[in-house]
């Protein structure tokens, strides 16, 4: 089955500073009319209706079908086996993670920030794909889009200690956290193959083409989107 995906950046939208320009999130303080126009721009690019999440840095996972609302409340991962519906995750430093199984035709969008990562949201979403849709974890591909990387992701000493204790030394360089490796290793534990996990080398905090909460504070959100092609 053909499964397509894309990651937006901050270009090509209508919002003005500090949301310039393709801000897709309503909760940021941007003009809702601009966000609606930006979402329209994304929908035209995708060519399908898009489902978003009201993301809460938790580990709730929702199943999406044709009857789902445009915004799924209170969740950080959405999964579907329905062709013709795009799933989106919105971020500005957190990892936009897309999971897909081409054999079974199942797609998922996951919001993997620090908290979601600590809650193991990626592996939990893999488990949902296996249990609800009969996927084999070895068939699942993962793609992590632009996100804040260890060059910029300084965390508190207390948090750094917690990461070392809970997950191991290798994810910390001083007080700089390697969130991508932490997620990759949880996905490997969940049964994904290493050669099926792709990690963007773009750091959102270094890249001026992306929104970065760490760099900018008040800013917009870009998105990862995934969909199963209509046949
Ligand atoms: Zn950086």
pLDDT tens digits, one per residue of 107-128: 999 999 999 999 999 999 999 9
CA of 143 to the centre of ligand 1 (A): 19
169 prior amide bond cis, ω within 30: no
Per-residue pLDDT for 231 more than 80? no
User: Is residue 111 included in any domain, yes or no?
Assistant: yes
Specify the pairing of strand 77-80 against strand 106-112. Answer: antiparallel
CA of 209 to the centre of ligand 1 (A): 13
Domain count, the chain: 1
CA of 150 to the centre of ligand 1 (A): 7
Q: pTM of the full predicted structure? A: 0.97
| Residue showing tokens 């969909």 | 227
CA of 168 to the centre of ligand 1 (A): 22
User: Is residue 49 included in any domain, yes or no?
Assistant: yes
User: Is residue 65 included in any domain, yes or no?
Assistant: yes
* pLDDT at site 15: 98
User: Is residue 209 included in any domain, yes or no?
Assistant: yes
User: Is residue 110 included in any domain, yes or no?
Assistant: yes
User: Is residue 157 included in any domain, yes or no?
Assistant: no
Per-residue pLDDT for 170 more than 80? yes
* pLDDT at site 22: 98
CA of 52 to the centre of ligand 1 (A): 27
CA of 201 to the centre of ligand 1 (A): 10
The string of pLDDT tens digits covering residues 150-163 is: 999 999 999 999 99
Residue 230: pLDDT band by 50, 70, 90 thresholds? Answer: confident
The domain containing residue 201 runs over which residues?
Answer: 3-148+197-228
| CATH code: domain of residue 114 | 3.60.140.10
Report yes or no: 13 and 31 within 8 Å, Cβ to Cβ. Answer: no
Report yes or no: 194 and 188 within 8 Å, Cβ to Cβ. Answer: yes
The string of pLDDT tens digits covering residues 51-70 is: 999 999 999 999 999 999 99
User: Is residue 77 included in any domain, yes or no?
Assistant: yes
CA of 197 to the centre of ligand 1 (A): 21
């Amino acid at each position: 089955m053909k499964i397509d995906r894309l990651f937006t950046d901050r270009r090509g939208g209508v919002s003005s500073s500090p949301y310039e320009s393709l801000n897709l999130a309503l909760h940021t303080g941007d003009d809702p009319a601009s966000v609606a126009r930006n979402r329209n721009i994304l929908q035209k690019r995708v060519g399908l209706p898009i489902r978003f999440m009201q993301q809460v840095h938790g580990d709730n996972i929702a199943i999406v079908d044709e009857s789902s609302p445009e915004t799924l409340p209170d969740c950080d991962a959405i999964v579907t086996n329905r062709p013709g519906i795009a799933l989106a995750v919105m971020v500005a430093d957190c990892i936009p993670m897309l999971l897909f199984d081409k054999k079974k035709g199942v797609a998922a969008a996951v919001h993997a920030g620090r908290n979601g990562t600590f809650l193991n949201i990626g592996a939990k979403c893999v488990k949902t794909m296996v249990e609800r849709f009969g996927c084999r974890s070895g068939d699942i591909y993962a793609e992590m889009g632009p996100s804040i990387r260890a060059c910029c992701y300084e965390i508190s000493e207390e948090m750094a200690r917690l990461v070392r204790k809970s997950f191991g030394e290798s994810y910390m360089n001083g007080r700089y956290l390697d969130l991508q490796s932490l997620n990759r290793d949880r996905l490997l534990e969940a049964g994904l193959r290493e050669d099926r996990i792709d990690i963007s080398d773009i750091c959102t905090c270094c890249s001026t083409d992306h929104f970065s909460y760490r760099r900018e504070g008040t800013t917009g959100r870009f998105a990862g989107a995934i969909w199963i092609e209509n046949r």
